[in-house]
Structure 1
Amino acid sequence: MGRTSKDKRDVYYRLAKENGWRARSAFKLLQLDEEFQLFQGPHLAGVTRAVDLCAAPGSWSQVLSQKIGGQGSGHVVAVDLQAMAPLPGVLQIQGDITQLSTAKEIIQHFEGCPADLVVCDGAPDVTGLHDVDEYMQAQLLLAALNIATHVLKPGGCFVAKIFRGRDVTLIYSQLRVFFSSVLCAKPRSSRNSSIEAFAVCQGYDPPAGFLPDLTKPLLDHSYDFNQLDGPTRIIVPFVTCGDLSSYDSDRSYPLDLEDGSEYKYTPPTQPPISPPYQEACTLKKKGRLAKEIRPQDCPISTVDAMPQPLAAPQRHTLLPSEVEDNGMNCSP
């Protein structure tokens, strides 16, 4: 498989490189904006302050910087545990979204003003166990929502990735506590084979008396959730975003160009910064990732490492006198 194999299989991956996006996920935010006008803000005043949680590698921050930062007075803050390559017009915070210090630093960058828009495209490392993955994603979404309650202005918008599973109705019910409108959106660039979607929450309106607190769980049993089953359960509208005539994310497209010119491979816009697999990549380049261990490289000798056969137990026949001496004679 050559370098162009993924360009054939994933047209949005190819288009992202050709258009200078750091990841194909940029198209997801662009298609969400086309459907919901996310950057117009409440009352069509326009979004001037936005927060990108779990931002690395920075494709959503790129979209925010172009849509908001281009207005001159716009501010974009990107937060992630991992280091991220700098972006023009984006202030970066390498921190934990579950810590109050991170929320305070965001507000400090906004000079004490709350944000108009908070987005989160983060996802845990999937295990393939759907129940576990859905639970971890739900916890990540609630962590993003928790910090959003510290930095989001009334009437603001919150967009976060969600895994549509069996218990997703509980997440919708929790989101409805804080937002007047909650929808589930599936962008065209999101693969149909994936369970991912995006919760688009508009009209931030926290309950009366609610005080944001990152030191304890976001929601407890004191909140009156709507029924999760039966005719009164919350039904969240499901919306597909993107033109139906646009590219299909699950289809393979040829590399043949319309004008007959030869296709040229485009490298990624921004290589990863200090990825967790960097050491494995270095060992692979040096041919040491799957290197065979030779006996001279092993501190334990080969003889000692070889499993030794178990010695046969020695048999000893007891004499009558030995039986009496050991108290094993049961005769009176």
Structure 2
Amino acid sequence: MGKTSKDKRDIYYRKAKEEGWRARSAFKLLQIDTECHIFDGVSKAVDLCAAPGSWSQVLARKLNENYKKALEKGDASPPKIVAVDLQAMAPLEGVIQLQGDITNTNTAQQIIAHFDNTQADLVVCDGAPDVTGLHDMDIFIQSQLLLAALNITTHILRPGGTFVAKIFRAKDVSFLYAQLRIFFPYVYCTKPSSSRNSSIEAFVVCKDYSPPKGYKPHMLNPLLTHEPCNFEELTGVNRIIVPFVVCGDLSQPDSDMCYPLNYRGKEYKYHEPVQTPIAPPYAEALSLLENRRAGSSAFVFDHDTDFNEADISRAIENKSATWTASVKEYAFISAVETDSETNTIVKTAQDENKEEETAIDALQNLYISKEAGNIDNTK
């Protein structure tokens, strides 16, 4: 597969690299803002589950634009952005990074401390679980992640602030909407054009944070109980239907389609990813592969790795047991011919095998002779 295969398949992935975004998800937040104006009047923002940092990039750009406009009208305070994630994230200019757990009270306290003991104007969360393919489980885990983000938001968001988070539209999504409506009088479900139509992914935009009277934020118990809910018994705010808003217009690309590389008359130029993972879990595997390739010219016979990469490829292509055996024999002979030390080891092993076979043959002959004598005695 060539480098451009994903560029052909996903136009937003391609555009993200061209425009300097760390991930295609940056367009989702930009399109949400175009429709819902979530950055108006925002100078302090928090990005939960931030890695790899594309939403933090958008926050930094938009809040700096707000700051410049505010300076033209009068005095304004510089924007502050805090990005939180369990994983390490490459640095971003103008973004304070916290490596922490959003279900921990200490994380909320650290965020408030970075805002000089004030609260944020906007909290966004693009977090999602590593999907398993078991849809019910994935949807449940995502709902729990959303509620965890909402829970910490009640600690760090000022009254009247805005909350934006990823949500999976599934069978019981109305229950989540009802939970959000307890804290926000305005709740919208948005679907940016850059979000694939084939995905159940959407985003909730919750405005005008207004916690219930007497509510005290805490991390002791989740908002979502594990008991079955009878929707017929829900009344009041729980019966509210959340509007569904599609962000973007028909002139924007369709995220499910494949587009030519030379799109709309613009000559295609390949771009490397803006920010590659700094500590990927597959780094060790890549290192082992590079070492294997580097050592393939001086192949050494080993019981665990007795083929090099080219040998295996040829064996698979021919799908022949005979060919596989001949390849193995060829690899062994090549190793013997190219390594004098290996020759000595192999020769010694062969001599030892011959001595062992001679001893076994002698024992077998002695045993046969004895058995023959016993038989003669019985006669």
TM-score by length of 2: 0.71
Matched residue type, 1:255: L
CA contact (8 A) 2:147 2:224 kept: no
Partner of 1:34: 34
Task: Give the alignment of 1:1-150 within 5 angstroms.
Answer: 1-40=1-40, 46-70=41-65, 71=67, 73-150=78-155
Give, in whole Å, the separation in 1 of the partners of 2:42 and 2:233.
34
Give, in whole Å, the separation in 1 of the partners of 2:122 and 2:206.
10
Equivalent residue of 1:117, what SS? Answer: strand
Partner of 2:241: 235
CA contact (8 A) 1:69 1:76 kept: no
Give, in whole Å, the separation in 1 of the partners of 2:48 and 2:207.
17
User: 1:219: Cα distance to partner?
Assistant: 5.5
Identity score, percent: 63
Task: Give the alignment of 1:206-285 within 5 angstroms.
Answer: 206-218=211-223, 233-256=239-262, 261=267, 263-285=268-290
Task: Give the alignment of 1:188-203 within 5 angstroms.
Answer: 188-203=193-208
User: 1:207: Cα distance to partner?
Assistant: 0.6
User: 1:17: Cα distance to partner?
Assistant: 0.2
User: 1:245: Cα distance to partner?
Assistant: 1.1
Matched residue type, 2:30: L
CA contact (8 A) 1:227 1:234 kept: no
Matched residue type, 2:26: A
Q: Cα 1:18–1:143, aligned 2, differ >3 Å: closer, same or farther? A: same
Q: Cα 1:2–1:228, aligned 2, differ >3 Å: closer, same or farther? A: farther
Equivalent residue of 1:295, what SS? Answer: coil
Give, in whole Å, the separation in 1 of the partners of 2:205 and 2:232.
21
**Aligned pair partner of 1:168 in 165, 173, 176:** 173
Choose between structure 1 and 2: higher helix proportion: 2
Give, in whole Å, the separation in 1 of the partners of 2:123 and 2:92.
18
User: 1:214: Cα distance to partner?
Assistant: 1.1
Give, in whole Å, the separation in 1 of the partners of 2:233 and 2:257.
36
Give, in whole Å, the separation in 1 of the partners of 2:105 and 2:27.
31
Give, in whole Å, the separation in 1 of the partners of 2:265 and 2:96.
41
Matched residue type, 2:256: D
Q: Cα 1:213–1:10, aligned 2, differ >3 Å: closer, same or farther? A: same
Give, in whole Å, the separation in 1 of the partners of 2:266 and 2:153.
50
Equivalent residue of 1:177, what SS? Answer: helix
Q: Cα 1:177–1:284, aligned 2, differ >3 Å: closer, same or farther? A: farther
Matched residue type, 2:303: P
**Aligned pair partner of 2:303 in 295, 303, 319:** 295
Of structures 1 and 2, the one scoring higher in RCO (CA 8 A, sep 6+) is: 1
User: 1:228: Cα distance to partner?
Assistant: 7.1
Partner of 1:180: 185
Equivalent residue of 2:239, what SS? Answer: coil
Equivalent residue of 2:207, what SS? Answer: strand
Give, in whole Å, the separation in 1 of the partners of 2:273 and 2:266.
24
CA contact (8 A) 1:107 1:113 kept: yes
Give, in whole Å, the separation in 2 of the partners of 1:283 and 1:264.
32
User: 1:277: Cα distance to partner?
Assistant: 2.8
Q: Which runs of 5+ in 1 are unaligned?
A: 41-45, 299-332
Matched residue type, 1:236: V
Give, in whole Å, the separation in 1 of the partners of 2:145 and 2:202.
14
Give, in whole Å, the separation in 2 of the partners of 1:189 and 1:257.
16
Give, in whole Å, the separation in 2 of the partners of 1:83 and 1:279.
17
Detail structure 1 runs of 4+ shifted over 4 Å in the superposition: 224-232, 257-261
Q: Which runs of 5+ in 2 are unaligned?
A: 68-76, 294-300, 307-379
Equivalent residue of 2:287, what SS? Answer: helix
Q: Cα 1:275–1:49, aligned 2, differ >3 Å: closer, same or farther? A: same
Deviates most, 16-25 or 251-260: 251-260
Q: Cα 1:228–1:96, aligned 2, differ >3 Å: closer, same or farther? A: farther
How many residues of Structure 1 are paired with residues of Structure 2 in the alignment?
Answer: 287
Give, in whole Å, the separation in 2 of the partners of 1:20 and 1:37.
23
CA contact (8 A) 1:65 1:76 kept: yes
Give, in whole Å, the separation in 2 of the partners of 1:260 and 1:205.
47
CA contact (8 A) 1:174 1:225 kept: no
Give, in whole Å, the separation in 2 of the partners of 1:64 and 1:225.
40
Partner of 2:361: none
Q: Can you list the C-alpha shifts for 1:276-310, whole angstroms capped at 9, x where unaligned?
A: 3322333344449xxxx953679xxxxxxxxxxxx
CA contact (8 A) 2:17 2:273 kept: yes
